[in-house]
Amino acid sequence: MAGSAQYRAKGPTFRQSVARFWQRVTEGRQMDELWGQFQSDARTSYRLYSQEVEATRDPADSPGRHFFRVAKRVFWAFLEKLTPAKRILLLLALVLMFMPGSEWHWKWGSDNISMSTPDLRLWGGLLMFALLMMEVGDRVVMKRDLQIAKEIQAWLLPPRAPAVPGLQIAFATKPANTVAGDYYDVFARPGTEGRSWLMAVADVAGKSVPAAMLMATFQASLKTLSDTPGPLTELVGRMNRYACTNSQNGRRFTTAFIAEYESASRNLTYVNAGHNEPIVLRRSGAVERLHCGGMPLGIMDSPYQSGTVTLEVGDWLVAFTDGVVEAENPAQQQYGEDRLLTIVRWGMQLDPKVLLDHLLADIVRFEANAPQHDDITCVLVKVSG
């Protein structure tokens, strides 16, 4: 008995067990964080199911009729995303959950006979739980595969900025999903012995796995074709012709900013292939946008033009994808270039890595609980001398 009492004294109390369970379930998040995450997940799910639903109200419909019409379309949009077997299971579970048991009475001669049917709501709940477990199983398998794809994609991106003479460089990306369609890189052009450096920022049309696969082909073509001597326009033209062979007739295109930096002269020659215009922020505060180039890669075979700027000590180069300036808050307002420039101007004396951390934190504050719609990638370059 004494040993049993001692064992109970050493074991966790009920309150401690509940606390540990709650800690494990919530991963240490506070209630406001959980509520914000729920709101974000709910908005994302609604957009997934409602993007194919026509929600415009017919003037002849009453508000109540319009609500039920839209609810019906959303339900069908949800149902059609399940396999036929799971659709049947869901419908059966819903029917059973709305069929409570009942008792029947009738008289047979002098006897009163009664019969009751079982309460089927329990079985409906169990079927719904079984459906949930199957969906979770599918999600776990998909998440594992996506995690592997994320690790492979990480190998294609530089882990850290290279040491480029006279430049300080920082870059970062924040995928909207597990894998992204954004790409960035800075590397010495083969055959130049470190005198010439290529910089690239690209954004594949679309998101998730299809965009990530095309991003990998973009990386491979850039690395392979950059080994061939020639001006930057020829390099981009060859990349475009390669992209046109696997772009599904232009539906899977890539916007890109590709530049070549000469360390000795500080000249930056660039081609903007339909990408968001990178910004050169001069030490004086003047702003130049790099717009020379041509069409996005993969749409059609077309010529490209190049532009050249000379960078001076104290200047900044800001290259980014549209996920930065088009990030939205809950009121569907966009982050915008003006706010981006305000942050960069504020931190012109900082190290690019420190400034980039401030920029990404500001985007997170701006988005609040709104879901991230697109991949976010930014490259900051400071001319240090």
Is the residue at 226 inside a domain?
yes
Q: For position 307, what pLDDT does the model report?
A: 96
Contact (Cβ atoms closer than 8 angstroms) between residue 383 and residue 164: no
Q: For position 77, what pLDDT does the model report?
A: 80
Is the residue at 233 inside a domain?
yes
Distance CA 357, CA 378 (A): 11
Please give the single-letter amino acid code of residue 6. Answer: Q
| pLDDT reading at 7 higher than 50 | no
Is the residue at 357 inside a domain?
yes
| CATH assignment at residue 232 | 3.60.40.10
pLDDT digits (tens, 9 = 90+) for 249-306: 767 899 999 999 999 999 999 999 999 999 999 999 999 999 999 999 999 889 999 9
Q: Which of 323, 278, 271 is nearest to 297 (CA)?
A: 271
Assign 320 to helix, strand or coil.
Answer: strand
What is the number of other CB atoms lying within 10 angstroms of the CB of residue 271?
Answer: 26
pLDDT digits (tens, 9 = 90+) for 211-241: 888 888 899 999 999 988 889 999 999 999 9
Distance CA 185, CA 277 (A): 17
Can you give the residue range of the structural domain that contains 286?
A: 158-383
Please give the single-letter amino acid code of residue 270. Answer: Y
Could you tell me the two tokens for 258?
A: 């590709």
Q: Which of 364, 135, 358 is nearest to 380 (CA)?
A: 358
Distance CA 283, CA 279 (A): 13
Q: Which of 219, 207, 259 is nearest to 243 (CA)?
A: 219
| pLDDT reading at 18 higher than 70 | yes
Contact (Cβ atoms closer than 8 angstroms) between residue 324 and residue 341: no
Alpha helices, H only, 176-255: 208-225, 232-244
Phi, psi of 131 (to 5 degrees): -65, -40
Distance CA 352, CA 316 (A): 9
Helix pair 121-156, 84-97: axis angle to 10 deg: 140
pLDDT digits (tens, 9 = 90+) for 46-78: 776 666 667 677 777 787 787 888 788 878 887
Could you tell me the two tokens for 233?
A: 């326009």
pTM given for the model: 0.71
Is the residue at 122 inside a domain?
no
Give 319's strand partners: 379
Phi, psi of 99 (to 5 degrees): -125, 85
Between β-strands 267-273 and 279-281, what pairing exists: parallel, antiparallel or unpaired?
unpaired
Is the residue at 97 inside a domain?
no
C-alpha distances out from residue 345 to 167, 219, 291, 366, Å: 18, 31, 21, 18
Is the residue at 361 inside a domain?
yes
Is the residue at 244 inside a domain?
yes
Distance CA 6, CA 29 (A): 34
Q: For position 313, what pLDDT does the model report?
A: 95
Is the residue at 127 inside a domain?
no
Could you tell me the two tokens for 294?
A: 């041509």
pLDDT digits (tens, 9 = 90+) for 100-139: 655 555 555 556 666 556 667 788 888 888 888 888 887 7
Q: For position 143, what pLDDT does the model report?
A: 76
Q: For position 252, what pLDDT does the model report?
A: 82
Sign of the CA dihedral running 353, 376, 213, 42: positive
Between β-strands 254-262 and 267-273, what pairing exists: parallel, antiparallel or unpaired?
antiparallel
The owner of tokens 């019906």 is 72
Q: Domain tally for the chain? A: 1
Label residue 376 by pLDDT band (50, 70, 90).
very high
